[in-house]
Structures are given as C-alpha cells and as structure tokens.
Amino acid sequence: MHVRKPTIGLAAVLTVTFSLMGGQAVAAPSATASSEVADSAVAARVFTYDASGSAEFRSAVDRGAAIWNESVDAVELRPVATGQRANIRVLADNGWPRALPTTLGNGTVYIGRQAVDQGYNTIRISSHELGHILGLPDRKPGPCSSLMSGSTAGIACTNPYPNTVEKAEVEDNFSSALAHTGGAARSGVMIVD
C-alpha cells in the first residue's frame, strides 16, 4: 500500500491560511541570493589573535598575521579587541617554537627563543606557527620556498610566505569547514617546529 505525502497540498493550504489571517508570505531566497551569501561567508572568516604575551616578538607576530591576510582570502587574522577573548593566543617562551591547535583557526602559538637564539627568523617562525593553527602540517624536509618546511630550510631561510600549495590548502581547509566537512587541523596535538 502506497501512502501519499500531502506536502504540496499542505504548503498551499498554509499559504492561503496565512494570507487570510493577514500574515506575510515570504519567498524563499533565490539561488543567486544563496550563492551571494555563500560567497560572502567564504570571502573571509575572521579569527582574532592575542599577542600580548609574545614579548619581544610582538611585531613579528603582527607581521606573520599580515602575511596570511595578504596570502589567502578565506581567513583574516585580526588583533583581539581589549576585553575580548582571542581565537589564537601567542606566547613567548624559552623552548622551541610550537603550536597547539584546538580547532581549525583556534589554538595557542609559542614563539620559542631557542630557535631565535640559533638564528632562525622571527617572522618566518610566526607565519609558520600560525600556519599550523590554519590547519597546515609540517612538511619536512623541505625547501625555503615552503613555509611549512620550518627549520629544515635552515637559518639562512627568511621566507615568511606560504607557497601556492600551502595557500590553496588553507583556502580548502576553510571552504571545507564552511561546508561542514572539517578541516585539516589536528585538534589537541602539539606541533613542534
């Protein structure tokens, strides 16, 4: 036995009922309007960072965030406003640089003085560690042209910019996150280097 679902008839009855009751009928958004909303949502997802604990590395952290803002469209990193909670905390310590992503776009970055004392570039360190928060893994060993090659590029490497593949991966991570398929962030796993 086949049972018919009266969905079209029910929708028509409700529309007539609301119009008779003085209610306002609202048209469903068009495909174009939905597309425009989706495009603006993908345009830039804003994450705030708190570099107040980054000590002498504050300007390097700000520059690292600016580099990501210049490099990708899906994410914008902004300094946190006073009294607000940041998505990303940036701290200076005496260890090796590392990141602890909690979820995509959220976590803690440590700008370790050990690498700086060995001669590694502070802006590259900052950009690299922020890359982990944006869902990128280490790519070791790697050339200087790969930001995520980290320390394997050597102390002479000062390139703080993600390459084309790294940029595309961040864009994809956040497009995937918006589509609820998840990103590449390894939540709760400390990434050293």
The one-character DSSP state at 134 is T
| List 36, 129, 166, 169, catalytic entry | 129
What contacts 135, CB < 8 A, 6 or more positions away? 101, 104, 169, 170, 173, 183, 184, 185
The one-character DSSP state at 187 is T
What contacts 143, CB < 8 A, 6 or more positions away? 149, 153
C-alpha torsion sign, points 74, 77, 82, 85:
positive
**Is 129 one of the annotated active-site residues of the chain?**
yes
Judge contact between 101 and 67, C-beta under 8 A: no
Annotated catalytic residues are 129
